[in-house]
Structure 1
Amino acid sequence: MPFPLAHDDPPGLGAYRLLARLGSGGMGTVYLARSPGGRTLALKTMHARIATTTEFRTRFRLEADAARVIGGRYGAQVVDADPLAETPWMATEYVLGPPLDDAVELAGPLPEASVRTLGAALCGALGQLHHSDVVHRDLKPSNIMVTAHGPKVIDFGIARALGDDRLTHTGAAVGTPAFMSPEQATGQEHTPAGDVFALAGVLVFAATGRGPFGEGQPADLLYRVRYAEPDLTGVPAALVPVLSRCLAKDPAGRPTTAELAAQLHDGSGDFVDQLPDAVLAEIGRRASEVWQVLPQRLPAPPDQPATVPSADVPAARGPSRRGLLMAGAGSVLGVAGAGAGVWAWLGGSEPGPGTGPGYTKPKPGPSVSAVKKKKLDSVWQKQFGGPDDDQNPEVPLLAGDQVVLVANAGARGVDARSGASRWTFSLYADDSWQVASDGTHVYQIARDEHRDANGSLRTVSFFLARVDLATGKAGKHLAPVSDAQHNGIINRLLAVADDTAYLAISHGKVKRYERQLPWSVMAVNLATGSRKWTDPLPFRSAESDENHFLSAKVVGGLLVALQQMNDGKVRVVARDIRTGKVAWDKPWKGADRRLVRDPLTADDKHLYLGYGPLRALRLSDGGQAWDTAATRPGKTYGPPVLKDGVLYAVEKDLGLVAFGTGSGKPRWAEKSEEGPRADHVVHPVVGSAYAYTYSQTDQVLRAVGLTSHATEQLYKTSGTRFTAHEKSRMVIASGPDFLAGFPLR
């Protein structure tokens, strides 16, 4: 649980405002923090007394590197870090769930099915580390967070690359004695087999509530780890031989993570289905609690001045459109009580064993023509989360009768009409830019690993493939992305149109930061696999991993993209799709790079921009065709949406406004009393009879009549982004934790 800030804690670090303490240890302190855009994060710092020590600074940097390797699917995704600061810090996603030791204390030992699912998922996490030649070295229950999407491994404070002994003294045992491997206990080389040993100890704990070598003084524990047989009393009988092999004293006798995963679980079903009710309730409680935290600070001791170190922190803003997880969740969870009831409310797809007698499956919402302004439920809601990450573009993608969510190093195809999950597949990187759609097909950047006769990884190459929308499997290689000179080892799939894929690719060997690499934009013919052209980006070296691109779209013979500069400013750059040469390049003055990631809005003549005055740029030369700053001075608009030759945008403190595309003059403005509550930074969705806008304050989606110009229907929603899926006649609401469908009329 969060604790008040100490009197001498800084108000913030980097761009992040500190809200509370989450914990403090020998190395540093972990804070609850918020980004300028309203995202809640965990921010870890190093104690000042050790920050001047080269060894500990190196550990901190390696910890950040290891956390990046494991990514957001299996760990707490790194959002930002500055290991070179006077006070080194690292900001990661705030994981919604308890650590495993708290979960077991709360719910008791987990049933066999839960232990098997947990173990298989952790094998995936460790496997991802090991494939990058990194070992964790401190896997234990308190370093494993249990979320509805799966376990996440955290705290890489002593993780390191295989063979790197610079931070380990000969004969020194580093780690947690109760879960160390015998070789680690004697200060020997800790290999992936050592992580497997620790994983087995974690699973024994999950199944019994205690470790395999008991409790006691560190010296006693280290002796038992080295010489005693593990105590597997209480472990389900079918798991005993599996875990016994993992706990072999000889590392050569232990299975690999892939072998262990196959013995534990067949890969079917969702992780959340195996969690006890009490754990589900705790996840829901934490999801609600995090948004109720207000900054508090303890007073200084009487003999010290009540001063706080200054920090260059932006002024606090209200929660962003990526922000509020579930407004009102606390009150709902309080009523729901039992964990299964909570899960039913959170969006479990079907009632299962133990759902509780009070559970009733939500019914589809009535049509928009029902009683005026009555709050209705969604047609369907599922706990399929999109990325809550400022590095990734807006989701979901649309393809045929499906929507495609890309998040946490994976993609999921969902039936837009019913919300049923059709397929999932993993990505090689936790980056939404690895997948793109042309509206009909989905394409991905896939990875080939090339190994030698001993199975050691030698080289990696990347290629483009079309995804089979029936199975989620990648088809044949359509075109290479990388080549023998390592071009494209880091890459982004910007857009696909007319059998051509447009990518951003890096050149040269990987450096510490992505922006220290040269990059190019490239067009690839998907029919022949050949490169049509390659155009270098101006080199802008910086200590940053931020993408060069915010959004991209092919329109009117141009690849139009929003590009962010090192200084944070945004430019609109248009390239001729025949040659790749820049046709025009214009600054977008005042654009906030954290917001302008929506799909671009354009017709065959103009590109339309919001987030301030509404503007139209000519596609022919990038010149300004019109600007509402002249016709409606002082008015602020969010991202516009085009429908049947009419441009729609939400005007701040007014509501929905419709404009003519040629002149930029308003055609009509909303006249609802609810209009001023619409969130202007969320783009509207427009159907044939209604336009839909979102109120974050009320947590509702509003249907505004295109004839009446007034609110005619309200829908309860926990989504923060909305997309029209015209083929299924659905509004798709997405957010970091849920996907839902509402009628599009």
Structure 2
Amino acid sequence: MGTVYLARSAGGRTVALKTVHARIATETEFRTRFRLESDAARVIGGRYGAQVVEADPLADTPWLATEYVLGPPLDEAVRLAGPLPEAAVRALGAALCGALGQLHRSDVVHRDLKPSNIMVTAFGPKVIDFGIARALGDDRLTHAGAAVGTPAFMSPEQATGAEHDPAGDVFALAGVLVFAATGRGPFGDGQPADLLYRVRYAEPDLTGVPAALVPVLARCLAKDPAERPGTTELAGLLHDGSGEFADHLPDAVLAEIGRRASEVWQVAPQRLPAPPDQPATVPSADAPAAPRLSRRGLLLAGSVLGVAGAGAGVWAWLGRGESAPGPGTGPGYTQPKAGPSVGALKKKKLDSVWQKQTGGPSDDQSPDVPMVAGDQVVLVANAEARGVDPGSGASRWTFSLYADDSWQVASDGTHVYRIQRVEHGQDPATKTVSWFLAEVDLATGKAGKQIAPVSDARHNGILSRLLAVADGTAYLAISHGKVKRYERQSPWFVIAVDLASGRRKWSDPVPFHPAESDDNHFIAAGATGDRLVLFQQTNDNKVRIVARDTRTGRVAWDKPWQGADPRFVRDPLAVDGSHLYLGYGPLRALRLSDGGSAWDTSAARPGKTYGPAVLKDGAVYTVEKGLGLVAFGPGGGQPRWAEKSAEGARAEYVVRPVIGSEYAYTYSRTDGVLRAVGLTSRTTEQLYTTSGNRFVAHRKSRMIIASGPSFLAGFPLR
């Protein structure tokens, strides 16, 4: 059918990229199946299955990109470790009930649940491969008498070509659990015709199944669908949802998960040759595979194996918890030295105070998200803004944005402002649209009084960015004139608006950039004192640092950031009243007055590389690549502090640290943990399991807010 590639984005995100052979893609029926597969994968989402990154079923070569699962398929796990203990089977079954329930609530049935379609991670199973899943009542791709699925795990009704409803998925789930407990299916092995006969007429073989599970699974394997329990009832019969999923897994399975977590980063990126032009036959998805990642994880026809990373979170079922599906897109990555050990996986506890299944911002959005706003934080993602209680993670309000762009919302730390779209008139032929700057009511999320127009008769303003808010002034970038295909082809102006009066204080043009690109021209922005500092992407994909006078808008200085990659420097600005602090190379301080160098570390510490800086209590904190957390004096760059932990070498230097009063917190992508480093001991004192890649301190509630592509979590800030 196709080929699955291990792929990695420029920012370090690892995905499974499923492509379809072009000769098969010409078939209308197959394209429809592939589109339905993508839709079903989106329905189950990253909590229980394949977190879809992007897909294009209409392309000449249809493709589907999903996050990569760090764990073996269930059949390989059993082959490696032997039949699973009863506690593991129960936990597995309860979690899979949650996965199927998610599908069934959306009127989708899987129809091909089997061990090779279930990936085992340290935080719960993931259901994958929806090639024959379909919506209930949709008969476009089947006809009477056609048996579609895998015979060893089909339901009796499916084996006869009859309707396969949610009860059929429960039958298949019971077969999967028999396999997990015994190493074989409930109807044995053999030719498809023999298996189909046994499924329809023979009693299941439950020899070797733990005695307490026999009556539960026997009921699920009833020939009459009406006698089978639903997923909610079955989950309650299997497990109470307590504990962590990893606690129930054998050491051999945990070791395999750790090996894969390490090995996936050791694969050297290379372009593989195109597969030979073989006849369009569909290989068996249950064919034995080599135990190494290179075969099963990189190139397997007919089945997506890598989807949704090994994320942090308590394994969850039926809404009893929140699971975080894996590492998200970060601004860059370092090569890990080793994967987590068996002991580490076994002992890790989810120490988050709360965790919610809420997606975070993309890399092209404002780096200030999640943003602090009084007694709450504001998350902006997926064309929506959400006010979140930092103590509990509860959503207080939401509002929709015109586009999936967090540059439409900004905070000064106390208030939140947005660019609001207002339609005038009902007739589509005469309806007009205006754009206004408005303050957000933090109690309801509704836009309050319109402060100032963003667009007017002369200035179109349909493309606009709310860059920063500080000291009673909002700074925006708006496009003037007719909007063309690429946003940079429209001339841009930076403007300042007085928030009290709504008066436009000044307007100044941004240099014209005609490049045909939809990339955001603005990478980061911040205002302090008499300077508005902007990181701007140029046509040749380089970065310039532009400082404007906040009183007049005129450019005070403009200089290139040598060696900066626009993909990796999207961080909140580290500025005080005198300096701008830069990493991604030597740590440097530029004078805000004229852009000149106040100091840098290249002479005293040649060859050392630092990440983004954070200012706290008169010190500049950053992560030194290969060492860990370090601190310097802001005035002259004198070294003040250096981490002593051996684990510091594993800290992700491109992720901003969070500095508390007792601890500083750094992130290790390799281990999937947020490390609390004692500011007195200078060593790692606590570990918090996480898959976040952005961390924001909400000091009023003494919480750290961690965000990733599919979840939000809160950790204690001390």
TM-score normalised over the length of structure 2: 0.61
Shift, 1:520, TM fit: 1.0
What whole-Å deviation, never above 9, does each CA across 1:494-523 have from its counterpart, x for those lacking one? 001122111111122221111111111111
Q: Which of 320, 327, 330 is equivalent to 2:310?
A: 327
1:385 maps to amino acid: G
- Relative to structure 1, the CA distance from residue 451 to residue 92 in structure 2 (aligned partners, 3 Å threshold; closer, same or farther) is farther
Match of 1:502 among 475, 480, 490: 475
What is the aligned counterpart of 2:396 among 386, 402, 422?
Answer: 422
From 133, 137, 146, the equivalent of 1:210 is 137
- Aligned: 1:340 with 2:318: yes
For the pair 1:443 / 2:417, whether they are aligned, the reply is yes
1:466 CA displacement: 0.8
Change (3 A) 1:381 1:718: same
Q: Aligned-pair distance for 1:730?
A: 1.0
Q: How many pairs align?
A: 497
1:411 equivalenced with 2:394 (yes/no): no
1:327 maps to amino acid: A
The separation in 2 between residues aligned to 1:741 and 1:422, in whole angstroms, is: 16
Q: How far does the alpha carbon of each residue in 1:597-643 deviate from its partner, in whole angstroms, 9 at most, with x for none?
A: 11100111110001110000001100000010011111111001111
Matched to 2:515, the amino acid is A
Identity of aligned residues (%): 65
Give the 3 Å change call, closer, same or farther, for CA 462–567 of structure 1 in structure 2.
Answer: same
Any residues of structure 2 matched to 1:5-16 within 5 Å, and which? none
Structure 2 vs 1, CA of residues 558 and 108 (structure 1 numbering), >3 Å: closer, same or farther? closer
Residue of 684, 694, 699 corresponding to 1:721: 694
Q: How far apart are 1:487 and its partner, in Å?
A: 2.1
Runs of at least 5 residues in structure 1 that lack an aligned partner in the other structure: 6-17, 20-32, 52-62, 68-72, 98-102, 119-201, 218-231, 236-273, 304-322, 349-372
| Counterpart residue identity of residue 401, structure 1 | D
C-alpha distance 695-614 of structure 1, shift in aligned 2 (>3 A): same
What is the CA-CA distance between 1:326 and the residue it aligns to? 4.4
One-letter amino acid of the counterpart of residue 574, structure 1: A
Which residue of structure 2 aligns with residue 400 of structure 1? 374
Q: Which residue of 1 aligns with 2:518?
A: 545
**Aligned with 2:602: secondary structure?**
helix
Contact 2:101–2:231 under 8 Å retained in 1: no
Q: Deviations over 1:140-162 (max 9, x none)?
A: xxxxxxxxxxxxxxxxxxxxxxx
Aligned counterpart for 2:354 among listed residues 380, 388, 391 = 380
1:114 positional shift: 4.6
**Does the aligned pair in 2 maintain the 1:658–1:669 contact within 8 Å?**
yes
Relative to 1, partners in 2 of residues 1:43 and 1:520: Cα closer, same or farther, differing over 3 Å?
Answer: farther
Q: Offset of 1:109 from its aligned partner?
A: 11
> Deviations along 1:457-515, whole A, 9 cap, x unmatched?
63221111111111111111111111123521111100011221111111222211111
Q: Which residue of structure 1 aligns with residue 407 of structure 2?
A: 433
Cα distance in structure 2, aligned partners of 1:95 and 1:538: 38
Q: Distance in 1 between matches of 2:142 and 2:553?
A: 65
Matches within 5 A, 1:293-372: 301=276, 326-327=309-310, 339-340=317-318, 344-346=321-323
Code of the aligned partner of 1:616? A
- Distance 1:660-1:738 versus aligned 2 partners, 3 A rule: same
Alignment partner, residue 677 of structure 2: 704
For structure 2, list consecutive stretches of 5 or more residues without a partner in the other structure.
26-34, 40-44, 46-50, 70-95, 109-132, 145-162, 167-229, 236-244, 246-256, 279-305, 326-346
Instruction: Tell me the distance in 2 between the aligned counterparts of 1:95 and 1:485.
Output: 45
List aligned pairs for 1:103-502, cutoff 5 A.
Answer: 107=100, 114=106, 206=135, 209-211=136-138, 301=276, 326-327=309-310, 339-340=317-318, 344-346=321-323, 377-453=351-427, 456=429, 458-502=431-475
Counterparts of 2:676 and 2:540, CA distance in 1: 39
Whole-Å separation in 2 of the counterparts to 1:108 and 1:527: 51
Give the secondary-structure state (helix, strand or coil) at the position aligned to 1:489. Answer: coil
Any idea what the Cα deviations from partners look like across 1:330-349, whole Å, max 9, x if unmatched? xx89xx5x8438x625169x
Distance 1:48 1:90, change over 3 A: closer
Query: Partner residue of 2:626?
Result: 653
1:522 counterpart = 2:495: yes
Query: Deviation of residue 389 (structure 1)?
Result: 3.3
> Residue type matched to 1:37 in 2?
G
| Residue type of the alignment partner of 1:536 | P
Pair 1:607-2:590 in alignment? no
Change (3 A) 1:717 1:300: closer
Residues 529-588 of structure 1 deviation map (CA, whole Å, 9 limit, x = unaligned): 221111111111011011111110101211001111111111110000111100001111
Q: Distance in 2 between matches of 1:456 and 1:278?
A: 55
Shift in alpha-carbon separation, 1:594–1:470, aligned structure 2, 3 A = same
The answer (yes or no) to whether the contact 1:278–1:339 under 8 Å persists in 2 is no
SS in 2 for 1:563: strand
Q: Of 549, 554, 557, which aligns to 1:576?
A: 549
**Which has the higher mean CA deviation after the structures are superposed, 520-529 or 408-417?**
520-529
Cα gap change, 1:735 to 1:405, in 2 (>3 Å): same
Q: Secondary structure at the match of 2:585?
A: coil
Q: Distance in 1 between matches of 2:431 and 2:52?
A: 27
1:110, 1:276 within 8 Å by CA — same for their partners in 2?
no
Contact 1:446 1:464 in 2 (8 A): yes
- TM-score, with normalisation over the residues of structure 1? 0.58
Query: Aligned partners of 1:215 and 1:714: how far apart in 2?
Result: 51
Q: Give the root-mean-square deviation of aligned CA atoms.
A: 4.7
Rounded Cα–Cα distance in structure 1 between residues aligned with 2:525 and 2:61: 32
Alignment partners' CA distance in 1, 2:231 and 2:372: 32
Q: Can you list the C-alpha shifts for 1:198-245, whole angstroms capped at 9, x where unaligned?
A: xxxx9xx74xx223889669xxxxxxxxxxxxxx9x99xxxxxxxxxx
Whether the 8 Å CA contact 1:702–1:711 is kept in 2: the answer is: yes
Q: Does 1:36 align with 2:10?
A: yes
Q: Assess, with a 3 A threshold, how the Cα gap between structure 1 residues 392 and 591 changes in structure 2: closer, same or farther.
A: same
Q: CA deviation at 1:456?
A: 4.8
